[in-house]
């Protein structure tokens, strides 16, 4: 026992000795980063302990600190720093003033700029915003993250991108999408091939001063993506591992539809009403006829067919002829839910990230790998992706720098058709299917019928009512049809720079010359397989293979000159750029497969289609920019770019684009020196012209040869080939142009706690491509010409406030709001309005305003839909001159302007809290005003035949004379004129993201930190109608699309 006690005391003494040996004195000096002056009174603390001290009047300090510990330096008016002392005993520190630290660097065209001196309008999203999101594409992080930017998340298809619009609608027919630039070079790859974890920042350039240098492709804004790079770590390697695992679910609930009993009673009523109101029979007779029709004896096409009677009593005994109610003694034989059956149960999303970075003063590098596997909401669908990236930078001497990066992504999508009202779209077919039809084959007793292997047999509906998806089964489609998309993305960025800006280079002082090369490659292989058992390819099967290749490169040379002459600063850029793009497509299709499950073309016996083509585009550019400031207080900038594009005829190929801008740092003026509540305030304005060469045809496909005549060569006579001219050439076609004005301010107030940014902007689009009509006798509808004009205007506002800001707790909130107004100024002289379905484009009105009849309610006597009618357009909005038309005269119902999809205000609210090791963040988005035409919801109100379900709202429909209802009577085969009943307020409030985490400081255990976290994305959407996705798209029309995902996940992030 004595020996054990002595041993314990010896070991304890050793540990105490080691502990005292580790506490050595660390000393140093703290100075100002701006002027090098000593800072006295700086608080110096050993993190994780109560040990602390202060610097003396000369900025010196000394503190006991073990090796690899962390010291915290904080001082009023300066940004705090935490520094790992490693094995050093001397640690000198420079603290940046909060004004200096908050003057963030903005990534701009062909370089960077300080926000306080930037004359343009730009918003930056940092990497920490992306890190708190479970997203496959960085475009989805833009939703609510920047004022003036709209990101629609219409589809939840795994691997899909968001659709982005910057400051309104850029065109009627041409592209409204922004230009994407990755690490300084325009990007033509798949956006979802960029791993969001590799992104350092996203910068949105909005106005002419910010984006003119990108010329003919910058009319709709520019999104700059900067990837992470290595930093000078004195040769140490920083290693990071992150794992994130979660579960997906449907973010938008389905519409409330009828169950089997409600559905059959409603169908009975619709047949009965048809006989009463269309054929004039008595109510008693109508009931019997309705039963006869439903059991198929009178109407075999639209009847139920006894095979699909879900009750255990015959259809002839199923209804009370007087009330239309189901026989209370009837029992259901099946109750299949088609939509529930196609949905996957708790689909998993897994993502794993590994990266390493570091460097020295001469070499810096970052390498990363990421693996993502996401199961879709629909069974058998999903998205797998693997990405890799290496970024290198070499600086062997101070006047030379070289960079080389490479990235690769391999992705596979298992998908299905997921848009439009076609039964091949599972979202449509499963949601619309009436609840009376079984998924699997049943016998007369309602029991399953099995095959020889004991598996249930799908019911393909050969005897279903016409229109009830005959010979089709959406659940079987998930397994028997296959849609694969295999994508390979690769890219590289290479650059060299010769820099003689330092004064030691004499006559060459201030100059720098850089050469940049960027290249992107995308290879896609699509496989579309349709089974031979049922559906469109029943009997023979069909397989379509499609191969596409996209290759583009950008090569530019940049000469810059930057000098300071006393209070005058001058920055000049001259550049040349060459852009080349090539797209190849090869497709082949065969039928006549001997059996199912064959995914190669060889077994097919008949060639159904074969095609190939190539698109090419080149742009040659010269550009310049001059920036000048006086005393870093008054700023001027001017940019010019000329582009020559192969899209246009050689006589009309070149276009000139320019901008001017100015800024005034008014807070530095003497008359505001005493305004202590103003930390910094900069006024700015810009004006310029940009171009849009993204011309699209009526199908939304790029027109690379828009000016040329095209020929249709499919005509033949016996063995003689032939063709006809299908479009007329117009050599004068040119760019669409934007005249862009911006004025605003950026400021920080109240000891830098309050940050405010405001811009008013106006953008006129001219020379929009429209079809100029021709006489029908010429055989052409018309030809493309630069005719139209349109204007967008609005404001962007961003307010941020630090509610609490101290050493332990930081809490800030941010609010963003944007408004867009739109007006079509000019169309063709022949057509002052363009009507397309439920929308109209009319001079003087907003783009794609809704144009339909106005409902005047429901006639209490007959249950008929009533419509407003007016005599002429002058009376359109004067209801005193309107009169009502019943449904028998519905053709007379007047179509009127009923608003547009454009909201009155949209934006976001977000907050971030950091308390010691805890962190919490939340983001919500909102949209106020605008309309959406709810095609999906309205289809449940007016099914034309047995087979499609009804909305539960139809249970409130008119039943008998005297009823007061806003829903007209249900009536078989009774179509209704499109009215504003289908228009819904598009306002919504969405909880986009909530994240919470805790970071453990484990430096004493060989780790830098470990963060555990949980987060949720697309958590909830509150809107005017359950089931409606108001964030669907920019058309203002709902669609049967893949529901957006709600993702709940948890993970760990380990830093070594």
Distance CA 671, CA 622 (A): 43
% pLDDT > 90, the chain: 60
Taking the chain, what is the end-to-end CA distance rounded to the nearest angstrom? 43
Q: Parallel, antiparallel, or unpaired: how do β-strands 122-126 and 199-205 relate?
A: antiparallel
The side-by-side arrangement of strands in the sheet containing 855-858 is: 855-858, 865-869, 883-885
Beta bridge partners of 237: 358
pLDDT digits (tens, 9 = 90+) for 756-786: 999 999 999 999 999 888 877 777 788 889 9
How far is the CA of 603 from the CAs of 20, 43, 300, 540, 842, in angstroms? 79, 78, 40, 11, 54
Q: How far is Cα 746 from Cα 853, in angstroms, rounded to an integer?
A: 46
How high is the pLDDT of residue 625? 97
Q: Does the structure show a pLDDT above 90 at 574?
A: yes
2 pLDDT above the threshold of 60: no
CB atoms inside a 10 Å sphere around CB 322: 9
Q: What is the pLDDT of residue 867?
A: 82
Cα gap 923→712, rounded to integer Å: 52
The 3-state DSSP class for residue 288 equals helix
Beta bridge partners of residue 616, listed in sequence order: 582
Mean pLDDT in residue range 444-449: 94
- The three-state DSSP-derived secondary structure of 165-230 is EECCCCCCCCCCCCEEEECCEECCCCHHHCCHHHEEEEEEECCHHHHHHHHHHCCCCEEEEEECCC
pLDDT of residue 21: 39
Whether 16 shows a pLDDT value over 50: the answer reads no
Q: What CA–CA distance (Å, rounded) separates 538 from 86? A: 71
pLDDT band at 604 (very low <50, low <70, confident <90, very high): very high
User: Over 60: is that where the pLDDT of 709 sits?
Assistant: yes
Please give the residue that has the higher pLDDT: either 676 or 10.
676
Distance CA 102, CA 387 (A): 34
pLDDT single digits (tens) 613-650: 999 999 999 999 999 999 999 999 999 999 999 999 99
Query: Which long-range contacts does 32-37 make (Cβ < 8 Å, 24+ apart)?
Result: 32/78, 32/94, 32/95, 32/97, 33/94, 33/95, 33/96, 33/97, 33/100, 34/96, 34/97, 34/100, 36/94
Using alpha carbons, list the distances in angstroms from residue 215 to 107, 625, 736.
Answer: 17, 12, 12
Between 1035 and 474, whose confidence is greater?
A: 474
Tokens of 347: 């689909």
**Torsion angle of alpha carbons 820, 169, 1025, 1037, nearest 10°?**
150
Which pair of structure tokens corresponds to residue 759?
A: 């811009």
DSSP string across 513-536: EEEEEEEEEEEEEEEEEE-SSSGG
User: What integer best gives the mean pLDDT of the chain?
Assistant: 88
Eight-class DSSP state of 277:
I
pLDDT band at 853 (very low <50, low <70, confident <90, very high): confident
> 23-100, which class in CATH?
mainly beta
Rounded CA-CA distance 486/524 in Å is 6
Q: Name the burial class of residue 350, with classes exposed (0-12), middle (13-18) and buried (19+) by CB atoms within 10 angstroms of its CB.
A: middle
Contact 893, 853 (CB under 8 A): yes
What's residue 881's pLDDT? 46
- 298, 373 contact by CB (below 8 A): no
> What ranges in 321-424 are assigned the alpha helix state H?
338-342
- Which pLDDT value is given to residue 22? 46
When pLDDT is cut at 50, 70 and 90, the band that residue 612 belongs to is very high
d(CA 586, CA 934): 38
- Flag whether pLDDT at 258 surpasses 60: yes
- Torsion on CA atoms 438, 439, 443, 446, rounded to nearest 10: -50
Beta strands 93-95; 24-32: pairing state: parallel
The Cα–Cα gap between 689 and 373 comes to: 44
CA distance 121 to 143: 18
Considering only the C-alpha atoms of the chain, give the largest distance between any 2 of them, rounded to a whole number of Å: 118
pLDDT tens-place string over residues 73-122: 888 767 788 888 887 889 999 988 765 555 677 889 998 888 878 899 99
Alpha carbon dihedral 831, 836, 838, 843, in 10-degree steps, equals -30
Tokens of 224: 């700059």
Query: Two tokens at 116?
Result: 């306080």
CA-to-CA distance for 891 and 168, rounded, in angstroms? 36
Please give the pLDDT value at position 600. 95
Band of pLDDT at residue 836, cut at 50, 70 and 90: confident
Task: Give the pLDDT confidence score for residue 98 in this predicted structure.
Answer: 66
The pTM assigned to this predicted structure is 0.88
Q: Residue 33 in contact with residue 96, Cβ under 8 Å?
A: yes
What are the residue ranges spanned by the domains of the chain?
A: 23-100
| pLDDT at site 116 | 78
Extract the tokens encoding 846.
Answer: 């907003």
Name, in order, each residue with C-beta under 8 angstroms of 109's C-beta and a sequence gap of 6 or more.
205, 210, 211, 212, 213, 214, 222, 625
HEC readout, 875-935: HCCCHHHCEEECHHHHHHCCEEECCCCCCCEEEEEEEEEEECCEEEEEEEEEEECCEEECH
Overall size of the chain counted in residues: 1056
- pLDDT tens, residue by residue, 576-599: 999 999 999 999 999 999 999 999
pLDDT computed for residue 718 by the predictor: 66
- 281-295 per-position pLDDT tens digit: 998 899 998 888 887
State the pLDDT confidence band at 611, using cuts at 50, 70 and 90: very high
Q: Which residues contact 1022 (CB under 8 A, 6 or more apart)?
A: 988, 989, 990
- Residue 235 in 3-state DSSP? coil
Q: Which residues contact 566 (CB under 8 A, 6 or more apart)?
A: none
Q: Confirm if 864 and 887 have CB atoms less than 8 A apart.
A: yes
**Cβ atoms within 10 Å, residue 57:** 9
Helix (H) or strand (E) holding 65: strand 60-65
Query: Using one digit for the tens of pLDDT, what is the confidence trace for 389-440?
Result: 999 999 999 999 999 999 999 999 998 766 667 777 888 888 889 999 999 9
In order, the DSSP letters of 17-61 are HHHHHH-EEEEEEEEETTT--B-TT-EEEETTSS-EEE--TTSEE
Q: Please, what's the b/e burial string for 647-671 (b: 16 or more CB within 10 A of its CB; e: otherwise)?
A: bbbeebbbbebbbbbbbbbbbbeee
Angle at 1025 between CA 840 and CA 150, to 5 degrees: 60
Within 10 angstroms of residue 696's Cβ, the number of other Cβ atoms is 16
In this prediction, residue 10 has a pLDDT band, given cuts at 50, 70 and 90, of very low
Q: Are 226 and 203 in contact (CB under 8 A)?
A: yes
């Amino acid at each position: 026992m004595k020996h054990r006690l002595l041993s314990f005391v010896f070991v304890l003494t050793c540990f105490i000795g080691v502990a005292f040996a580790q506490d050595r004195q660390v000393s140093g000096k703290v100075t100002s980063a701006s002027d090098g002056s000593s800072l006295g009174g700086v608080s110096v603390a050993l993190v994780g302990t109560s040990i602390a001290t202060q610097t003396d009047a000369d900025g010196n300090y000394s503190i006991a600190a073990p090796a690899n510990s962390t010291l915290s330096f904080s001082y009023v008016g300066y940004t705090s720093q935490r520094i790992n002392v490693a094995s050093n005993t001397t640690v000198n520190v420079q603290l940046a003033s909060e004004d200096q630290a908050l003057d963030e660097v903005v990534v701009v065209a062909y370089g960077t700029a300080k926000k306080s001196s930037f004359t343009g309008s730009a918003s930056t999203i940092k990497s920490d915003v992306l890190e708190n999101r479970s997203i496959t594409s960085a475009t989805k992080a833009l939703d609510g993250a920047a004022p003036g930017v709209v990101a629609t998340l219409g589809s939840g298809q795994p691997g899909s991108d968001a659709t982005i619009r910057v400051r309104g609608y850029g065109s009627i027919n041409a592209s409204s999408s922004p230009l994407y630039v990755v690490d300084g070079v325009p990007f033509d790859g798949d956006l979802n091939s960029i791993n969001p974890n590799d992104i350092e920042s996203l910068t949105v350039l909005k106005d002419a001063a910010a984006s003119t240098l990108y010329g003919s492709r910058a009319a709709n804004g520019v999104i700059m993506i900067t990837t992470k790079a290595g930093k000078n770590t004195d040769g140490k390697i920083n290693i990071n591992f992150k794992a994130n695992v979660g579960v997906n679910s449907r973010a938008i609930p389905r519409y409330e539809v009828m169950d089997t009993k409600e559905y059959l009673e409603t169908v009975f009523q619709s047949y009965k009403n048809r006989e009463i109101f269309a054929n004039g029979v008595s109510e008693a007779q109508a009931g019997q006829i309705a039963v006869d029709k439903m059991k198929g004896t009178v109407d075999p096409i639209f009847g139920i067919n006894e095979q699909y009677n879900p009750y255990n009593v015959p259809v002839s005994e199923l209804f009370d002829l007087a009330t239309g109610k189901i026989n209370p003694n009837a029992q259901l034989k099946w109750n299949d839910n088609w939509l529930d059956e196609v949905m996957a149960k708790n689909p998993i999303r897994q993502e794993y990230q590994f990266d390493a970075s570091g460097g020295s003063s001469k070499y810096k590098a970052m390498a990363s790998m990421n693996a993502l596997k996401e199961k879709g909401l629909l069974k058998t669908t999903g998205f797998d992706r693997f990405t890799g990236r290496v970024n290198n930078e070499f600086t062997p001497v101070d006047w030379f720098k070289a960079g080389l990066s490479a990235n690769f992504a391999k992705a596979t999508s298992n998908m299905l058709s997921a848009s439009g009202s076609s039964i091949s779209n599972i979202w449509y077919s499963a949601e619309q299917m009436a609840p009376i039809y079984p998924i699997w084959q049943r016998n007369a007793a309602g029991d399953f019928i099995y095959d020889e292997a004991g598996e249930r047999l799908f019911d393909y509906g050969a005897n279903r009512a016409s229109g009830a998806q005959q010979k089709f089964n959406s659940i079987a489609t998930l397994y028997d049809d296959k849609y694969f998309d295999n994508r390979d993305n690769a890219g590289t960025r290479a650059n060299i720079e010769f820099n003689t800006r330092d004064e030691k280079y004499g006559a060459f002082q201030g100059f720098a010359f850089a050469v940049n090369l960027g290249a992107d490659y995308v290879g896609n292989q699509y496989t579309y397989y349709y089974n031979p058992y049922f559906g469109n390819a029943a009997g023979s099967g069909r397989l379509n293979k499609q191969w596409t290749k996209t290759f583009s490169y950008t090569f530019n040379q940049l000469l810059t000159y930057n000098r300071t002459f006393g209070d005058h600063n001058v920055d000049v850029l001259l550049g040349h750029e060459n852009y080349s793009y090539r797209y190849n497509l090869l497709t082949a299709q065969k039928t006549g497969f001997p059996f199912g499950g064959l995914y190669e073309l060889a077994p097919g016996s008949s060639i159904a289609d074969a095609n190939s083509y190539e698109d090419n585009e080149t742009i040659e550019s010269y550009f310049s920019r001059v920036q000048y400031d006086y005393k870093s207080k008054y700023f001027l900038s001017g940019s010019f770019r000329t582009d020559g594009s192969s899209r246009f005829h050689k006589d009309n190929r070149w276009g000139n684009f320019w901008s001017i801008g100015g800024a005034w740092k008014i807070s530095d003026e003497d008359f505001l020196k005493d305004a202590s509540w103003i930390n910094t305030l900069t006024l700015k304005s810009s004006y310029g012209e940009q171009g849009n060469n993204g011309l699209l045809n009526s199908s939304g496909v790029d027109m690379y040869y828009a000016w040329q005549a095209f020929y249709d060569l499919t005509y033949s006579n016996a063995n003689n080939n032939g063709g006809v001219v299908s479009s007329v050439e117009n050599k004068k076609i040119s760019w669409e142009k934007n005249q862009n004005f911006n004025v605003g301010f950026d400021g920080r107030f109240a000891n830098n706690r309050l940050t405010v940014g405001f811009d008013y902007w106006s953008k006129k689009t001219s020379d929009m491509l429209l079809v100029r009509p021709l006489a029908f006798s010429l055989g052409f509808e018309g030809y493309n010409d630069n005719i139209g004009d349109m204007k967008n205007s609005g404001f962007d506002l961003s307010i941020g406030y630090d509610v609490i800001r101290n050493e332990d707790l930081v809490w800030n909130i941010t609010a963003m709001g944007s408004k867009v107004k739109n007006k079509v100024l000019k169309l063709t002289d022949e057509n002052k309005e363009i009507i397309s379905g439920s929308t109209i484009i009319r001079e003087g009105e907003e783009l794609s305003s809704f144009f339909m009849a106005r409902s005047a309610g429901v006639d209490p006597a007959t249950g008929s839909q009533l419509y407003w009618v007016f005599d002429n357009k002058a009376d359109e909005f004067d209801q005193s001159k309107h009169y009502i038309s019943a449904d028998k005269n519905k053709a007379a119902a007047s179509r009127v302007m009923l608003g547009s999809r454009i909201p009155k205000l949209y934006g976001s609210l977000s907050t971030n809290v950091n308390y010691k090791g805890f962190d919490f963040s939340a983001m919500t988005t909102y949209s106020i005003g605008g309309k959406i035409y709810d095609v999906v919801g309205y289809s449940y109100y007016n099914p034309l035949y047995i087979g499609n379900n009804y909305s539960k709202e139809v249970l409130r429909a008119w039943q008998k004379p005297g009823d007061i209802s806003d829903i007209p009577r249900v009536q078989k085969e009774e179509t209704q004129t499109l009215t504003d009943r289908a228009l819904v307020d598009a306002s919504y409030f969405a909880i986009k993201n909530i994240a919470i985490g805790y970071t453990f400081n484990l430096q004493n255990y060989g780790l830098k930190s470990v963060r555990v976290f949980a987060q949720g994305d697309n958590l909830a959407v509150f809107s005017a109608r359950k089931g409606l996705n108001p964030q669907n798209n920019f058309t203002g029309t709902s669609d049967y699309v893949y529901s957006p995902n709600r993702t709940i996940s948890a993970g760990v992030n380990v830093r070594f």
